[in-house]
Structure 1
Amino acid sequence: MRRTIKSAARLAVLAAAFGGALASAQAADLPVYTKAPPAAEAWNPWMIRLRVLGVLPDTGGSSVNVAGVPALSSPNSGLHISNQVVPELDISYFFTQNIAAELILGVTRHHLTGSGTLQGLDIGKTTLLPPTLTLQYHFTNFGAFKPYIGAGVNYTVFFNNSASNIPFAGLAVTSLHVSNQWGGAVQFGFDYMLNKHWGLNVDVKKLWLQPNYSAMVNGAIPVTGTAHIDPWLVGAGVTYKF
């Protein structure tokens, strides 16, 4: 009888141990569920800016060659090109958080007059379409303040050229042509982001733009030269990051 009780007790202990091991094994096989992390917001590489842009030509060094009239030619005379303020659209694409390409689009119309011995001569007007593409580096370690620098290329199309045909001291420009021109560009600026989409922008560019031009005075005297426009583009506006 005593042996029977001991055997039963041993069987009970073995059963309990086996049952615990089985339960542990089953628990180990069960999948462990954890709370999923929040979905990351997709990064959009596009940005646009709308600016008010001041176009400030720097015409020092422009040449003027009046056929047969050395007294009216360089270095005694030069050109003056008017400043202009226009709206401008900028489209940027970010290859990474730091590297972006920017294309600016805008149209300006400028008034050309003589300087030096040609002071007071109204030459005419021309319209510029100067798309400029730059490659930029954006600094991202200043919080909402995001400065950048860039360099690139500009191709300016001159169109709607119109001679003034206004007499001055017996002279009047009767035709005007300005050649399209490639040029280099550098820039610096910053965005100050008010939130993840909207911000304020200040941007300064320098273009090297020196197109050749030709004109006719009094319908008979050819005038040729190079216009050193070399403008500063100074802009301020709003930024929208998609």
Structure 2
Amino acid sequence: MQLFTLHRFNYLLAGVLLAPSALQLCLAAPQPLGNDPQGVTLGLRKDSNPLKTFKANVDNAPVKASQDRTAFADFSNAGQQTGSSRGFNQCVGVIISTHDAALFGHYTCGDQGQQRARQDLQQYWNQHKDDKLKNPDVMIYAKVVVNDATGEVMENSFESASTQVFINLARQITGKTPAIEKYFDLDAYVTMPKPGESGRGERPGFDQDTALAYSDYAGFWVSKNGPRFMTVRMQKEAAQK
């Protein structure tokens, strides 16, 4: 079994010490590959390095949305061909996109994040609903639960009840029911509680180093061809030996 890196030790220690309110914070960072605008997951081919490709696309996007921020990418502008947001953890993403532009945000689930989403998304929508954002694809990026005891990803269980607030908000603004893409806590997936002890240990059977490298890349990037997400399937691929 591999020894924990100092980075992982600090992560695990922080998980014990953080207050519940702090758990809503995300680490603003880039993201791995995912699916098509309709939410159909792209097949992963080992020879194509989709995780590395996704990471590069997220990192290189000129328009970015950090935590509790909203961004608008006009694809007709040479400096705004793609947009991205990463580092999702206890956060929800909203993406409203067309072939011409994308409106997207990265929001914490509390009152501040909800207020920011409501204010910004409505403002941009009012400005562009009849041109750049006419007849868009609408998507939500939401966190699901990992069973701490077994490591099972509970894909039908949103971690935050506030996820529904963002689903309703996107529907209210655009008139469309959003499609849902999901992610989970990759660190919780590859670690587990130590029986009778505080802290966590490695869950057997996973590539800890690769999982660690992509743990901050829950997120998405978007272009004129639609959004691409770090999906549940991709996160599991990153953790496999």
State TM-score, norm by structure 2: 0.28
Q: Provide TM-score, normalisation by structure 1.
A: 0.28
Higher share of residues assigned strand: 1
Relative to its length, the structure with more helix (as a share) is 2
